[in-house]
Amino acid sequence: MDAEGKFDAIVVGAGPAGTTAALTMARGGMKVALLERGEYPGAKNVFGGVLYRWPLEEIIPKFWETAPLERQIVDHRFMVMSKDSGLLLSFKVDGRGKAPYNGYTAIRAKFDKWYASKAEEAGVTLATSAVVDDIIMKDGKVVGVRAGPGIENELYADLVIAADGVNSGLAVRAGLREPPSPDQVALGVKEVVELPAEAIEARFNLRKGEGTRMETMGCTHGKMGGGFVYTNANSLSVGVVILLSHLMELKMKPYELLDEFKAHPSIEPFIEGGKAKEYSAHLIPEAGYKGVPRLYRDGMMIAGDAAYLCSYPEGTNLAMASGMLAGKAALHAKKNNDFSAKTLSVYHEMMNESYVIKEMKRKDSSHTAMLNNPRIFGLYPDLINEILADVLHVNGETKTAKHKRAKSKFRDKVGLLRALRDAYSTRGMAP
Ligand SMILES: Cc1cc2nc3c(=O)[nH]c(=O)nc-3n(C[C@H](O)[C@H](O)[C@H](O)COP(=O)(O)OP(=O)(O)OC[C@H]3O[C@@H](n4cnc5c(N)ncnc54)[C@H](O)[C@@H]3O)c2cc1C
């Protein structure tokens, strides 16, 4: 901060995007204020969740030695569910007991706090319980933020980075995007269920410290979405994600969907006897590349979920990567002493070359295909389970008769050419 109380940059939101942007700028010598509405960073933040090694390793080398992490992910599971059965695939990887692993489960209340402390060590000024409600404009430029009424709640800087999450009131006020519409976001509802570490390891067939990430489909009444179970050290994160517009069509309460999921015969044994510790709900950007707004204007950039840069379940990594590039663009602007849109457009250029935008483009086509195809989340999971239940049920009827019945069911309900078309249109769908 200079003698007039002005920072080089203000970052709003101490989630993965904001903290990364602040850290990058502070390491480059900029004076940075990081404003967070929570009592502490992470206090209000929700995710599944798995934290990926990339790009965090580039920002904090060997982070796994000191960060508060829960379990290393060595088991990726995918379940195709019907109402009362489930086909489970498990892919075991990285199980040699040697860090670093590709992903770790984490609790945001612990991780975000730790991560923001790294930014503070780099010189960032962190202010918590600071709810920013507006940007300050002068001559068409963003010049600061307001966190309440009166001059005492105004803060000025050459640059504002909005990393205030999926609802980003600041990006909306700056005219960079609209508030989310129900077909642009999914609602994630999640319960943390406490269980002893030994029970988790026995139920998921894991060694000490190892973890499972399980995604499911077929638990959203044919609507776009799915379920998840992630293993933490002494708890499970259990949740359902559903496109908001589809939830509205379903006319079900989010917790009803979650209760159904928890009671499913393929899920219930994992959580049996566990104690529900907390319940939370949060929006997830689902709009793909089409939804990504303009990322900058005079005196301002946006990063992470605020810019809809999420390709579920990848979100924290894309937030960190975009925060890092926003930070680099800010250092470039500082060097040129010019925070105009023209100079900040380097952010857009770097983003276009990055994995983040490439991944958002990939998500685009599969998202459109899934949005318009009710078969993927209802008919296919039901049919797969129905056919397996029939074929695997021993009752004196020949396998040949059952295979014939399976083929005709498939032909009648889907059709080969339609199945081929569906397979092609959803080829980019994330596992
Ligand atoms: C149920 C669920 C499961 C998920 N699972 C995964 C997963 O397994 N792996 C993964 O990588 N991602 C996952 N995600 C996505 C991931 O959580 C997000 O993409 C990521 O958190 C985005 O980071 P961010 O920093 O942009 O925003 P956020 O993490 O939302 O951080 C925004 C910050 O801004 C603060 N803030 C907001 N408004 C203001 C304001 N007005 N003033 C001051 N501060 C403000 C908030 O308190 C918060 O700290 C999941 C999300 C959900 C909801």
pLDDT by residue for the chain (431 residues), tens only, comes to 665 668 999 999 999 999 999 999 999 999 999 999 999 999 988 887 899 999 999 999 999 999 999 999 999 999 999 999 999 999 998 767 788 999 999 999 999 999 999 999 999 999 999 999 999 999 999 999 999 999 999 999 999 999 999 999 999 999 999 999 999 999 999 999 999 999 999 999 999 999 999 999 999 999 999 999 999 999 999 999 999 999 999 999 999 999 999 999 999 999 999 999 999 999 999 999 999 999 999 999 999 999 999 998 899 999 999 999 999 999 999 999 999 999 999 999 999 999 999 999 988 867 777 777 878 899 999 999 999 999 999 999 999 999 999 999 989 988 888 888 877 777 656 55
Check residue 4 and give its pLDDT. 62
Q: Give the nearest ligand 1 atom to 147 CA.
A: 42
Which pLDDT score is estimated for 419?
81
Nearest-CA residue for atom 7 of ligand 1: 49
Residue 44 Cα to ligand 1 midpoint, Å, equals 9
Decide whether any atom of ligand 1 lies within 6 Å of the 165 Cβ. Answer: yes
- The residue whose C-alpha atom lies closest to atom 29 belonging to ligand 1 is 15
CA gap 180, 160 in Å, rounded: 21
Ligand 1 in contact with 188 (CB < 6 A)?
yes
Indicate which atom in ligand 1 lies nearest the CA of residue 131.
42
How many angstroms is it from 353 CA to the middle of ligand 1? 24
Beta bridge partners of 238: 191, 229
Length of the chain in residues, anyone? 431
Task: Report domain 185-285's class.
Answer: alpha beta
| Contact criterion met (CB below 8 Å) for 22 and 8 | no
Report d(CA 276, CA 61) in Å as an integer. 35
Q: Residue 46: what pLDDT?
A: 82
Per-residue pLDDT, 430: 53
Q: Please confirm whether the linkage preceding 165 is cis (ω < 30° from 0).
A: no
* Ligand 1 touching residue 288 (CB < 6 A): no
Q: How remote is the CA of residue 46 from the centroid of ligand 1, in Å?
A: 6
Find out whether the beta carbon of 107 lies less than 6 Å from any atom of ligand 1.
no
144 lines ligand 1 (CB under 6 A): no
Which of 316, 320, 356, 363 most suits a substitution to test ligand 1, by most atoms within 8 Å of the C-beta? 316
Phi (first) and psi of residue 194, to 5 degrees: -75, 135
Task: With both helix axes pointing from N to C terminus, report the angle between 341-353 and 355-371 in degrees, rounded to the nearest 10.
Answer: 70
Selection from 35, 258, 332, 256 nearest residue 156 by Cα: 35
Q: What is the pLDDT of residue 416?
A: 82
Q: What's the token pair of residue 385?
A: 């389970």
Best of 53, 184, 284 to mutate for ligand 1, by most ligand atoms within 8 A of CB? 284
pLDDT, residue 42, reads 96
CATH of domain 6-69+107-180+288-353: 3.50.50.60
* Pocket of ligand 1 contains residue 213 by CB under 6 Å: no
Distance of CA 180 to the CA centre of its chain: 16
